[in-house]
Amino acid sequence: MAQDAVLSFLEEHNRPFSIHDIIGGVKGKGEFGKAAVQKALDALVNKGKVKEKLYGKQKVYHIAQNVGPTGNQLRETLLEMDRRTNEISVELKEVNDKLKAKSNILTEKQGKVSIADLIEKKVDIEKQLEIVKEDLIQYADVDPISPKRKEEVEKLYAKALTEYKKRKRMCMDVVNAILENYPKSKKQLLEDMGIETDEDVGFSLDLK
């Protein structure tokens, strides 16, 4: 059929042709004269499968893009893209689900210690507890000190400390006065006077 041959030729080449070019192009598909080809072209134009354009006095014909191979290829490409997009969406959801699951596991494990670490810490705490218990045994028979008695003791301590500082300062003033005319060192002077310092007896007290 002339229409099939013409449409096939235009679809295959997908570019504008004059009627003479089309007649030459369909020769191998049957014996179609100019009248038959023209009639086929007119029918295809009426059906919207072929477009007709006039250039000067000559008409040219080309396949309508909405039905030609470009249109078919485009639809196939779009369908393939849709299919691939759906596949990628499914794959992405699976990856996101796995990532979320792993993130949840990681979050749960963060800040937690292993059973081995807990056992080790428990053993250390029990050892420290035993040491504290042993230290407290010596105070088992000691009566608790009332807040009032504690305050009295602190006042006596403060008074004694003040007196201690005063007497030590007076003693050292005398030593320093003698040391001005003493031919030997301060350490030797203290030994000669029979004076023992806090350092000599290993006594330490915060005098600030």
In this structure, are residues 68 and 14 in contact, taking their beta carbons and an 8 Å threshold? Answer: yes
Q: In angstroms, rounded to a whole number, what is the distance separating the alpha carbons of residues 61 and 14?
A: 10
pLDDT at 166 over 70: yes
Q: In angstroms, rounded to a whole number, what is the distance separating the alpha carbons of residues 49 and 136?
A: 106
pLDDT tens digits along 34-63: 889 899 999 999 988 899 988 777 888 988
Mean pLDDT throughout 178-185?
88
pLDDT at 206 over 80: no
pLDDT at 149 over 60: yes
In the block, which residue shows the tokens 């596949």?
87
CA 33 distance to own-chain centroid: 75
DSSP of 2-62, one letter per residue?
A: HHHHHHHHHHHH-S-EEHHHHHHHTGGG----HHHHHHHHHHHHHHTSEEEEEETTEEEEE
* Share of residues in the chain with pLDDT > 90 (%): 7
User: Token pair for residue 156?
Assistant: 């006596």
Q: In angstroms, rounded to a whole number, what is the distance separating the alpha carbons of residues 173 and 194?
A: 16
